[in-house]
A and B are shown apart, each in its own frame.
Chain A
């Protein structure tokens, strides 16, 4: 049985569909506005009409958050091994190879050192494009090393999450990465070092149930899906429809689980202000 089978007929409209030359224009899935691609890029992929946040990639966040030229990637050579010899419709080894090819990355997170308004940070940015940002041994190990780097250099930690959860193809080893990262975060906390978690669309499952919910401060992007269990699983379990806005950043804000919902174009400013506050550094001049 297909889970995605459409049972209802699509809504039909009488007006002719607007055809868009894809390379120049982009249609906002939220308000339907037609956006000029260049404008969209200038607005860090946020719809100028309704504020819809398009998903952006790992490199975009690094560029958005870090001072120009400050990023130095580390542990890029870490890659997954198929420890279980896992095969579903294809082998895990083959799947990894395909994603490496497609994303030009070894796994679902990029880590390193950089600066946010001259504050040196240990940073990790997850890549949802690599197997749905799933956390396996490599993501766990790289986050662990990023935490250790923060401790060693006595600098803050910033992790931008985007993940569908734990990586099933690594079985219990992926589950244990939740333990590994959280255990090291306990050590970070003992050292009195700041950890800022930035949760983007989507942040779910094992990543939410570990470091994405353990920031001293947790910021979320507008409308990002953030939750523990998948909506489909919940719906199946309880047998009723889910409330509107369920598991959105705003829902978590309302229930007290994120500190603030921060629009993408304000993210760097707010993180910078937070870090400077935490470290007792001089505040930056207010923006115009």
Chain B
């Protein structure tokens, strides 16, 4: 898969892959045996991938989360679910193409799947508004959650958005209200809910479909209060300082797990999710299955209580009663300022 764009730090891998492909083609054409050379190159490729992908900086992970070939919600829906029927519209204003939703089956069990969808290529991206929903997208999402709740089926959301759209129409139609309302209503849903951050988890636009019993995140996805560029522009007065901002805000899957915000990191194939859709879909499928089994066993009242308690614990503060650390397990508490 060498068509399409790739990132700067992927270049050595792409070049080596092309070299291997060339050698294979040549060997076949001339009928010569190059298996020894090939296995050397393959080993080199594996090492190279490991070198690059085990030392990713936060901003490199952000780039992977935004990779133009990154699997999007519809790619996961195709691979992890069956019997998909997409449902449209918020029954009030419009159908937001940046937010997809529909009925599906997971292991035969009826579920509602909702996600932000980016486009492939300019035309589709314009139609999908680059995965940035308007208020009608959030209202559509909530309508679908209610539909699932009515029939007692779980809700699975796939989060991948650069943010809720900042525009005139969005403000006129109540972007803030639409998100706020979703946060509150998701908290009270009686059915099991799981969110999976598959790519960009940018700010309130991501959270607007993200108040769930379990929050999973792909290894190279991120979740943040503001984009690294936005943070850099405000605090460093320079959008180019995004790598520093990305590091400072602790937005990687590992950081988020450590901060007690996400419940599980779904490991991506070496080279990133975009290099092997089937493998990442299997990993997501497996993680969702395990969590869904657990939370489905709880009764509804208990589930709502646990969900509330989960968010209740998030954050770090100190008082005369001591320090409430935003840390998982027994790792040392942050130093009080």
Q: Do A and B come from one complex?
A: yes
Question: Does A209 reach chain B (CB closer than 8 Å)?
Answer: yes
Task: Give chain B residues whose Cβ lies under 8 Å from the Cβ of A75.
Answer: 319
A136 and B248 alpha carbons, distance in the complex (Å): 16
Is there contact, CB below 8 Å, between B311 and A176? yes
Chain B contacts of A2 at CB under 8 A? 237
Q: Mark A179-211, 1 if CB is under 8 A from B, else 0.
A: 110111111011000000000000001101111
Interface check B231, CB cutoff 8 A: yes
In the complex, are the beta carbons of A84 and B249 less than 8 A apart? yes
**Total B residues in contact with A, Cβ cutoff 8 Å:** 64
Docked Cα-Cα span, A175 to B208, in Å, equals 11
Q: How far is the CA of A177 from the CA of B208 in the complex (A)?
A: 13
Q: Is A42 an interface residue (CB 8 A)?
A: no
Q: Is the C-beta of B84 less than 8 angstroms from some C-beta in chain A? A: no
On whether the beta carbons of B314 and A176 are closer than 8 Å, the reply is yes
Cβ-neighbour of A140 out of B255, B259, B315, B334 (below 8 A): B315
A93: CB under 8 A from chain B? yes
Closest A residue to B316 by beta carbon equals A83
Question: Min CB distance, A245 to chain B, in Å?
Answer: 11
| Contact in complex: A246, B176 (CB < 8 Å) | no
Which of B172, B204, B255 is within 8 Å of A255, CB to CB? B172
Contact of A172 (CB < 8 Å), options: B236, B261, B317: B261
Binding site for B on A (CB under 8 A): 2-3, 75, 77-89, 92-93, 96-97, 136-138, 140-141, 144, 166-168, 170-180, 182-187, 189-190, 205-206, 208-214, 226-230, 233-234, 237-238, 242-243, 246-247, 251, 255-257
Tell me, in angstroms, the Cα distance from A186 to B186 when the chains sit together: 9
Q: Mark each residue of chain B from 162 to 177: 1 if its CB lies under 8 Å from any CB of chain A, else 0.
A: 0011111011111111
B336 at the interface (CB under 8 A from A): yes
- In the complex, 26 of the A-B residue pairs with CB atoms within 8 angstroms, ordered by the A residue number, are A80-B337, A83-B325, A86-B249, A166-B203, A168-B225, A168-B226, A171-B250, A171-B259, A172-B223, A173-B326, A175-B223, A178-B204, A179-B187, A179-B210, A179-B314, A183-B183, A186-B188, A189-B188, A209-B175, A209-B176, A214-B180, A227-B176, A228-B164, A228-B204, A237-B167, A257-B177
A138 touches B187 (CB 8 A): no
Q: Nearest-CB distance from A5 to chain B (Å)? A: 11
User: Is B98 at the interface (CB under 8 A from chain A)?
Assistant: no
CB distance from B169 to the nearest CB of A (A): 9
Report the nearest A residue to B167, measured CB to CB: A238
CB pair A182–B211 under 8 Å, yes or no, is yes
Give every chain B residue within 8 A of A176 (Cβ-Cβ): 207, 261, 311, 314-315
A93/B337 contact (C-beta < 8 A), A172-B261, A178-B207, A183-B183 known: yes
B184 at the interface (CB under 8 A from A): yes
